[in-house]
Amino acid sequence: MRFQGKVAVVVGGGSHDDGWSNGKACAVAYGREGAQVAVLDIDVSAARKTAETITSVGGQAIEVQVDVCDLGSVNDAIAAVLNQFGQIDVLHNNVGVTHMGGPVDLDEETFQRSLDLNLGSVYRTCKAVLPGMVERRSGVIVNVSSLAAIRYTGYPYFAYYAAKAAVNHATTAIAMEHAPNGIRANAVMPGLIDSPLIYRQIAGQYVSRDEMVDARNRAVPLGRMGTAWDIAEASLFLASDSAKFITGVCLPVDGGQSCRV
């Protein structure tokens, strides 16, 4: 029960899918380890499903609607969490959206939207949560980035590469600025993960779903894609006191893919 007595906010933790998204797995994992969990999502019914999963196994959770592209909405959501739980110990940013296309293919609106979702979500949530952490001189931020932040992964999502690279550097900047305040910040970089997202946003790059799964499994040195629980385990470690001397780290969780030339 590494998070007993702590409050974890999981942004992008909702899920309508039968499978386990990264955000849903992380939210449930925090709950299983004793945290009071606030599941934030633009789709409040999806957030409610994750919250109900947590409460069904004896945890405590609430769902809160949020639009991470709107600072007022983020401020309202964080205020609702503080009103319910009184503090925030862990901010876990899980929002990630891929938009296919290179600079020539992407229209400007889609490019800006991708930056706003993938990077702007980190800015707005940190802006809303950090003052309370600074006041308490305690807190942890975990930003879910991507292997795409440091490697070309073969997919033509220019804006996603750029945004996730920025998330990595933003994470280290937060870590260095707020280390004197007792606040840690780290990023998790998922590699090829078998999650519901790939069937919605990636499958169109392949002839079939089976071809996609086979190709992604073969691309990983360990011979298989990871799961959302691999991301959850890494995230909880970085958020826990077991990692109390770790900050500013961008951790690949990729089955060795980042080591391959």
Q: What is the average pLDDT across 36-59?
A: 96
Q: Which stretches within 42-97 are classed as H helix? A: 44-56, 71-85
Report whether 106 contacts 158 (CB < 8 A): yes
Residue 180 — pLDDT band, cuts 50, 70, 90? very high
Residue 17 — pLDDT band, cuts 50, 70, 90? low
Domain ranges of the chain: 7-195+227-251
Question: What gap in Å lies between CA 128 and CA 193, rounded to an integer?
Answer: 30
pLDDT of 15 reads: 85
- 123 part of the active site: no
Does pTM top 0.75 for this prediction?
A: yes
> Which tokens go with 224?
């298989």
Tell me the CATH architecture of domain 7-195+227-251.
3-Layer(aba) Sandwich (3.40)
Question: What gap in Å lies between CA 191 and CA 93, rounded to an integer?
Answer: 17
Report whether 30 contacts 89 (CB < 8 A): no
Concatenating the DSSP letter of every residue in 155-173 gives S-BHHHHHHHHHHHHHHHH
pLDDT in tens, 207-230: 898 999 999 999 999 999 999 999
Catalytic residue among 123, 157, 160, 161: 160
Query: Any bridge partners for residue 101, and if so which?
Result: 157
Task: Phi first, then psi: give them for residue 229, nearest 5 degrees.
Answer: -70, -30
